[in-house]
């Protein structure tokens, strides 16, 4: 079966007081960055797409309305890694990654192995999650959601509080996953990394989508100072690109 290149269609999506009439589409193979100030509605948008948040408007995945897809089916197609996840119990890394197979109801060794490989965490697969550093944990959470091999991967600020080495590592993982014909949407605060890794960016401001396009189209001084309320320095011609508050 040939897969439709358009994976996600969001139309006039609203969540009371948090999102207002957001419309965009998302293609397979694309890494879409969700940017905007704190409280702009990035997490709300991701949660709504994953079906964790009641919303108005239409969300279609593979041309099917999200409301028409049974929860387990939806969970197989859309994987989300919410912000600031913690494990209540001292589970091993391997057990946490295996939890990613829950939507499928199996413990597919091959899929778990691929996820561990993709996230680059095989060296500490038998360790306890409590004993890992923040950067190591971030990749474990990522491996957990990758184990479900969702066609659409939503990740909420995976690199907040990581050092620059791990920031790059995590963004690489996301980029590579999108290149395997999957859709990846990532909420991200670091605009330089957003410019460097994302194919397109979606800029939210107070619940409204104010810009959508390539990094060069979205990361302009006018748009960013409107969204963040401060002047910014933008140099997208540099390699890697730099976007910093002035």
Partner 1 sequence: MARLITHYLTPLLIFFLLLIAWISLAYGSTSVGVFDGLSAWFNNEQTEAALIIGEIRLPRTLLALIVGAALGMSGAALQGLLRNPLAEPGLVGASQGAALGAATVFYYGVFAALGTLATAVAGLLGAIAALFFMLLLSGSGRPALVIMAGLAISTVAGAALAVVLNFAPNPYAMQELVFWLMGSVSNRGLDSLIILFPALIIGCALILSQRRLLAALSLGEPVAESMGFSVKKGSRITVLGAACLVGSSVSVAGAIGFIGLLVPHMLRPFVGHRPDKLLIPAALLGAILVCLADIAVRGMPLGRELKLGVLTSLIGAPFFVWLVWKERKKWL
Candidate residues 18, 26, 74, 139; the one interacting with partner 1 per rule CB under 8 A: 74
SS3 category, 166: helix
| Binding of partner 1 by 90 (CB under 8 A) | yes
Give the count of alpha carbons within 13 A of 71, CB side only.
Answer: 3
| Segment lying near partner 1 (by CB under 8 A), choices 68-76, 112-120, 164-172, 228-236 | 68-76
- 101-109, 158-166, 211-219, 232-240 -> range binding partner 1 (CB under 8 A): 101-109
| β 152-156/183-187 pair status | parallel
Torsion of CA 189, 193, 194, 195, to 10 degrees: 140
Q: How many helices (H) and strands (E) does the chain have?
A: 9, 12
Asked whether the CA dihedral 221, 186, 170, 138 is positive or negative, the reply is positive
Determine the interface stretch with partner 1 among 18-26, 33-41, 95-103, 178-186 (rule: CB under 8 A): 95-103
Number of other residues whose CB lies within 10 A of the CB of residue 71? 9
Q: How far is the CB of 84 from partner 1 (least distance, A)?
A: 9
Q: What residue has token string 């890394």?
A: 93
We find the least distance from the C-beta atom of residue 66 to partner 1, in angstroms, to be 12
Q: Is residue 160 close enough to count as binding partner 1 by CB under 8 A?
A: no
Stretch that binds partner 1, among 25-33, 48-56, 184-192, 213-221 (CB under 8 A): 48-56
Give the binding site for partner 1 (CB under 8 A).
47, 50-52, 70-76, 78-80, 82, 85-92, 95-96, 99, 102-103, 105, 144, 148
């Amino acid at each position: 079966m040939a897969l439709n290149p358009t994976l996600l269609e969001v139309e006039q999506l609203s969540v009371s007081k948090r999102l207002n009439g957001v419309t965009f589409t998302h293609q397979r193979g694309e890494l879409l960055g969700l940017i905007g100030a704190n409280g702009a509605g990035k997490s709300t948008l991701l949660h709504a797409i994953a079906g964790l948040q009641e919303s108005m408007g239409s969300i279609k995945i593979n041309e099917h309305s999200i409301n028409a897809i049974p929860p387990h089916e939806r969970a197989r197609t859309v994987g989300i890694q919410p912000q600031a996840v913690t494990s209540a119990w001292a589970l091993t890394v391997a057990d946490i990654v295996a939890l990613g197979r829950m939507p499928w109801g199996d413990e597919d060794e091959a899929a778990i192995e691929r996820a561990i490989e993709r996230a680059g965490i095989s060296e500490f697969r038998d360790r306890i999650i409590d004993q890992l550093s923040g950067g190591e944990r971030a990749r474990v959470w990522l491996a957990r959601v990758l184990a479900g091999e969702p066609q659409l991967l939503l990740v909420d600020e995976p690199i907040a509080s990581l050092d620059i080495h791990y920031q790059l590592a995590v963004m690489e993982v996301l980029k590579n996953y999108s290149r395997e014909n999957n859709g990846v949407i990532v909420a991200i605060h670091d605009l330089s990394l957003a410019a460097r890794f994302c194919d397109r960016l979606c800029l939210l401001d107070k619940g409204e989508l104010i810009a959508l396009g390539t990094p060069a189209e979205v990361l302009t001084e006018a748009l960013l100072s409107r969204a963040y309320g401060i002047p910014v320095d933008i140099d997208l011609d540099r390699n890697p690109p730099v976007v910093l508050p002035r």
